[in-house]
Amino acid sequence: MDVMRDVSAELRAHIASRLREVEESEGVRILYAAESGSRAWGFASPDSDYDVRFIYCHSRDWYLSLNEPRDVIERPLDDKLVDLAGWDVRKALRLLLKSNPALYEWLVSPIVYADDAAFAPAARDLFVRHAEPRVLAQHYHSIARGQWKSEIADTAQPKLKKYFYVVRPLLSLQWVIRHATMPPMNLDALVALCPPPAEVHDAITTLLEAKRETPELGRGQRIAVIDEWALAELDALQPDRHTFAPRDATATRADADVLFIETAKL
């Protein structure tokens, strides 16, 4: 599946127009914008939303006030299913220093809408050097456990797409425990590189094909082989049961300060 072709030229132009409107109305400069969510993860439906996420920078004086104004910009879903949300660069770099995986996924998304070719490459390199494997593992385990409990565990007929929100973080968690690095973003890549048992693999593949071809996958009977595998993995992959080498964050914290100062032109 070529995700780059999943967004038409017309839709890209619409997104570019909306990003320009944000710049003009908010007085900011967008450094980078990309797709997040199911389209970037590789399991979008034909009618999935476009989850456009961006990082922006204010003018120099905005950062010199003792008061810190709101550092998030959001726009509601429009009639073309485009949802916009962005973080100020200072917020983004603070989250980077907390090893926030969502930021990294924005930075490595296969669908990019805007890129100044300066901030994102530097931030990606910084994230890879800084990220704490234990924090990443705790994040993915928490996401998988939370989705399991809230969407599947006590439901006879769950929304079938919710299985992806358990499977993907579990495979990402496997990757982090094995490699102590950031996992691939795409679900197909994760399934290939961290293959589950054959019957689980087949069930995931069947569900993926249905999700990509069906406007609304809807509810359905529980998928027993995925249920059993997920529960076993949630137990076996608890981060506290695994050892992670700590990172020395001194250098990367200094580098993050430099990147912020250069980007905000302080």
Q: Give the pLDDT band of residue 266 (cuts 50, 70, 90).
A: low
Are 195 and 207 members of one domain? yes
Residues 82-111, mean pLDDT to the nearest whole number: 96
Mean pLDDT of the chain: 93
Are 118 and 219 members of one domain? no
Q: Give me the pLDDT at residue 3, please.
A: 45
Q: Give me the pLDDT at residue 58, please.
A: 97
> 216 lies in a domain?
yes
- For tokens 């999935």, name the residue: 48
Q: Give the pLDDT band of residue 2 (cuts 50, 70, 90).
A: very low
Q: What angle do CA 35, 148, 109 make, to 5 degrees?
A: 15
Are 153 and 216 members of one domain? yes
Tokens of 144: 């998988």
Burial status of residue 71 (CB atoms within 10 A of its CB: 0-12, 13-18, 19 or more)? middle
Burial status of residue 69 (CB atoms within 10 A of its CB: 0-12, 13-18, 19 or more)? exposed
Are 114 and 154 members of one domain? no
Range of the domain at 175: 133-241
**Do the strands 50-57 and 29-36 form a parallel or antiparallel pair, or are they unpaired?**
antiparallel
Strand partners, 219: 159
Percent of residues, the chain, with pLDDT higher than 90: 85
Q: Give me the pLDDT at residue 214, please.
A: 77
- The tally of domains found in the chain comes to 2
Q: pLDDT at residue 155 above 60? A: yes
Residue type for position 107: L
Are 156 and 203 members of one domain? yes
